[in-house]
Structure 1
Amino acid sequence: MQIRSRWSAIVGYSLVGAATQLVWLNFAGVTTVTAARYGVSESAVGWLAQVFPLLYVVLAIPCGLALDRWFRPALLAGAVLTALGAVVRLIGNDFGWLLAGQILASIAQPLVLNAVTGITGRYLQEKDRPTGIAVGTASIFAGMVIAFLLSAIFTTSASIPTMLIITAAFCVAAAAVLTTALYTLKPSFTPTTVPTPATAAPPAPAAATRPDSAAVAPPGSAVAPGLVPAGAQPPGRPDRGALAAAWGDPLIRRLCVLAIFPFGVFVAMSTFAQALLEPAGVSGGTASTILLLQVVAGVVGSATIPILVVRRRAESLLLVVSLTVTAAACALLALAPGTATGFLSITVIGLLLLPALPIVLELVERRTGEAEGTAAGLIWMSGNLGGLVVAVVVGLLVDHPYAAFLVMAAIALIAVPGARALRRPIAELRSQSQP
């Protein structure tokens, strides 16, 4: 009897994924009000958000390794820490408690986000995994939408505690749903199976007497030359570990480099769009609406476009198109900044650029098997590092919008050749994964 996909686990994960982003961006739309309420500078309030990508770069790999070895406990620890961080912010009317809560939640974020490929690989059939990754990733962006909506509703100093209470309630409920799902449903699938004829190689003679050296390939994945699948040992060599298995794959390394550019442009645009458009007469409220629409478009795009792209085998083409259109949109903002071009350009960027993430993660899931947590961590780490670097560069140009928008356009264009070069390895991966 065929085992059915367990979508309730994906629902629980999606809620917790949204919760991490809600805590992260709670203060993005009320920076000035928050600074006034707690008696700190706006720069200090900015650190309530900046601590997330900063710690992600540091913790991405350790958390990925933890997920590969102890998946359910590590993911549940992330859900609990997210909820705990949201609750800690309610303890006192003091900036220190806010920062403490943000640090707890930022530690949890890589445990949750790195698990998007792992939970789909354990609870969904192979045919459902691209959809599961798309849904899980879209929920992450949906958390951003919720954060922007709350900051648009609770705009005064007196209403900030109410916003924090609502956020904490959501995080606790999300952790409870995921905990219930993971403890009532055992994983129905494993990230590794016996190799298909297309990927299996004749066993080495030494492996016949060493059960621990029998290498197996993940479902729907290809074993790159010299890459030992996670959990396997080559004859006569010690276990290289999940990190070595993931980073030893040339395709994973190329995806990590590629992730730097779209992540960087998106983070920089989200951070500085309001300041860059202000000289063109775009108000803060209008800029917030533009950014909200950008993320909404990204949620819609991430939930639909990757599914269609995978079915049509057009992953490389979509990446090329999204990066090229993003560069054109940034160039348009440089040449003709304004409300109309802001709505058009930034919405299109969200619609086409954000779906690149689930597409890359789906390739990672197909490729890495038991090392998917570590490989996903490498992708997220690269993206967050790109976000930090590009945001710093654009921040230095915040008083020169023309130059700032052109820099973002150039960064997007730089990645186009890399996206085009993925066509061949993706085709090889697809052919090797088919029996």
Structure 2
Amino acid sequence: MSESRSRWSAVIAYALLGAATQILWLNYSGVTTVAAEHYGVSENAIGWLAQVFPLMYIVLAIPAGLVLDRWFRGGLSAGAVLTTVGALLRLGGPTYGWLLGGQVVVAVAQPLVLNAVTGITGRYLAPENRPKGIALGTASTFAGMVVAFVLGAVFPGADQLGALTAVSAAFTVVAAVAMLVTVRRPGEHHHATERPGLATLRLAWSDPFVRRLCLFAFAPSGAFIALTTYAQALLTPAGVSSSTASLLLMGNVAAGVVGCAIVPVLAARRGTEVRVLSGGLLITATAAVAMAISPGTAVGAVCLTAIGFALLPALPIAFELAERHASQAEGTATGLIWMAGNLGGLAVAGATGMLVGDPTTAFLLLGAVALLGLPTAARLRRVSVAAA
């Protein structure tokens, strides 16, 4: 199929909506203390505005995937509408309850949006363009994280929280409208066979390659989420200020956006996806050990940038492999991978949080988690070769 039959407008609209979900997720992460004082709640309560997202994803990842495999355009449209409703609900009143209610609604919508990355590319792009589309769709989620950090820096005061919330809602409305307009027309490349209910789940889980991808996702996602959650606290004893640590984390995610846009496309073109996955884990482990041995601003900047560029592309690569191996249930397969990644995030971040007082051990733990993903990557290669 030629490139002229690819509808990139659908992927661009999807990328905007994916970015919106991440902006809403992390809206208050950079202003936690200010928001807690403004709304008269604890910092932990503000933290729950973000923590509700991985928890809801674990619960809803599979149901959302089943919906998308059965009613793709309807499911994605519902995700766009719910995301908008949640964003606007946060503007409903000046109390914490309105914020939490809006976040819960967006968290419910997020699996319907993020699980659709392989479906939107499979239906609206020609096969040769799908790796690029999946890379763009996934990179947009990390770009949304960067935008969330930037918005927190632009609107840092208590009197600016309303503006922060309103700007995020306005972006969400634009993205959702673009998505709804785009999916009114079905794609030309609908390749998945619609199967009822749990048959889709059985189809996805029966593929040994998909199961390996789920197991693999635990390590890179767990390491990344733990780093973004605790890097600031772990670097503080080495004399890295909170503002500097925030810049280092922004650089980490920005490097990940660049990596997601470049690395998966090159890997797919050369057929080296599994080797790239293994390489990303090795780089992450090396960088984590370096921060354990010699923490500081310079080492942190180099290591976090390297981790972002090398590790974050693992997600779009996994999605592209899943789309190829489970095209009849790509929504459910994507949901399973997302769910495994969120489980990894909760587990590894939880363990890292218990070691905040001992940064050296915490960084070594993250390096060990990365290395634990290598045997699974090797099994991915064996299953892939056997399937071929």
- In structure 2, what is the equivalent of residue 208 of structure 1? none
Where does structure 1 lack aligned partners over 5 or more consecutive residues?
A: 193-229, 233-237
1:412 and 2:356 correspond: no
1:251 and 2:209 correspond: yes
Contact 2:66 2:198 survives alignment (8 Å): no
- In structure 2, what is the equivalent of residue 15 of structure 1? 16
- In structure 1, what is the equivalent of residue 189 of structure 2? 189
Contact 2:11 2:137 survives alignment (8 Å): yes
- In structure 1, what is the equivalent of residue 223 of structure 2? 265
Q: Distance in 1 between matches of 2:133 and 2:237?
A: 42
Contact 2:66 2:332 survives alignment (8 Å): yes
One-letter amino acid matched to 2:33: T
Q: Distance in 1 between matches of 2:194 and 2:150?
A: 44
- In structure 1, what is the equivalent of residue 116 of structure 2? 115
- How far off is 1:426 after superposition? 2.5
- How far off is 1:428 after superposition? 4.4
- How far off is 1:417 after superposition? 1.7
- After superposition, what is the alpha-carbon deviation per residue over 1:90-146, rounded to whole angstroms, capped at 9, x for unaligned? 111100000000000000000000000001110111111111000000111110010
Q: Distance in 1 between matches of 2:197 and 2:49?
A: 40
SS in 2 for 1:30: helix
One-letter amino acid matched to 2:231: A
Contact 1:79 1:175 survives alignment (8 Å): yes
- After superposition, what is the alpha-carbon deviation per residue over 1:345-377, rounded to whole angstroms, capped at 9, x for unaligned? 111100000000000000000011221100000
- In structure 2, what is the equivalent of residue 213 of structure 1? none
One-letter amino acid matched to 2:186: K
- In structure 1, what is the equivalent of residue 275 of structure 2? 317
- How far off is 1:240 after superposition? 6.2
1:135 and 2:93 correspond: no
Q: Distance in 2 between matches of 1:190 and 1:34?
A: 45
One-letter amino acid matched to 2:264: P
- After superposition, what is the alpha-carbon deviation per residue over 1:132-183, rounded to whole angstroms, capped at 9, x for unaligned? 0000001111100100100011111111110100000000000000111111
SS in 1 for 2:166: helix
SS in 2 for 1:105: helix
Contact 2:18 2:144 survives alignment (8 Å): yes
Q: Distance in 2 between matches of 1:339 and 1:328?
A: 17
Contact 2:20 2:144 survives alignment (8 Å): yes
Q: Distance in 1 between matches of 2:365 and 2:300?
A: 17
| Runs of 4+, deviation exceeding 3 Å | none
Contact 2:119 2:331 survives alignment (8 Å): yes
1:353 and 2:311 correspond: yes
Contact 1:231 1:241 survives alignment (8 Å): no
- In structure 2, what is the equivalent of residue 380 of structure 1? 338
One-letter amino acid matched to 1:179: L
- After superposition, what is the alpha-carbon deviation per residue over 1:163-208, rounded to whole angstroms, capped at 9, x for unaligned? 100000000000000111111x32101224xxxxxxxxxxxxxxxx
Q: Distance in 2 between matches of 1:298 and 1:160?
A: 28
Q: Distance in 1 between matches of 2:301 and 2:288?
A: 12
- In structure 1, what is the equivalent of residue 90 of structure 2? 89
- How far off is 1:420 after superposition? 2.2
SS in 2 for 1:190: coil
- After superposition, what is the alpha-carbon deviation per residue over 1:203-235, rounded to whole angstroms, capped at 9, x for unaligned? xxxxxxxxxxxxxxxxxxxxxxxxxxx557xxx
- In structure 1, what is the equivalent of residue 125 of structure 2? 124
Q: Distance in 1 between matches of 2:326 and 2:155?
A: 43
Identity %: 55
- In structure 2, what is the equivalent of residue 292 of structure 1? 250
Q: Distance in 2 between matches of 1:186 and 1:373?
A: 16
Matches within 5 A, 1:155-174: 155-174=156-175
- After superposition, what is the alpha-carbon deviation per residue over 1:272-300, rounded to whole angstroms, capped at 9, x for unaligned? 00001011110110010001001110000
Contact 1:122 1:190 survives alignment (8 Å): yes
- How far off is 1:427 after superposition? 3.6
- In structure 2, what is the equivalent of residue 219 of structure 1? none
Q: Distance in 2 between matches of 1:254 and 1:412?
A: 16
One-letter amino acid matched to 1:108: A
Contact 1:334 1:401 survives alignment (8 Å): yes
- How far off is 1:239 after superposition? 8.8
SS in 1 for 2:204: helix
Q: Distance in 2 between matches of 1:40 and 1:364?
A: 42
One-letter amino acid matched to 2:170: A
Supply the RMSD in Å over aligned alpha carbons.
1.4
Q: Distance in 2 between matches of 1:56 and 1:240?
A: 18
- Compute the TM-score of the two structures, normalised by the length of structure 1: 0.87
- In structure 2, what is the equivalent of residue 370 of structure 1? 328
Contact 2:66 2:197 survives alignment (8 Å): no
- In structure 2, what is the equivalent of residue 218 of structure 1? none
- How far off is 1:421 after superposition? 2.5
Q: Distance in 2 between matches of 1:240 and 1:115?
A: 18
Matches within 5 A, 1:213-228: none
1:336 and 2:294 correspond: yes
- Compute the TM-score of the two structures, normalised by the length of structure 2: 0.97
Contact 1:78 1:112 survives alignment (8 Å): yes
- In structure 2, what is the equivalent of residue 395 of structure 1? 353
1:327 and 2:328 correspond: no
- How far off is 1:83 after superposition? 1.2
Q: Distance in 1 between matches of 2:318 and 2:148?
A: 25
1:275 and 2:233 correspond: yes
Residues 261 and 63 (structure 1 numbering): CA distance in 2 closer, same or farther, change over 3 Å?
same
Contact 2:70 2:194 survives alignment (8 Å): no
Aligned length: 387
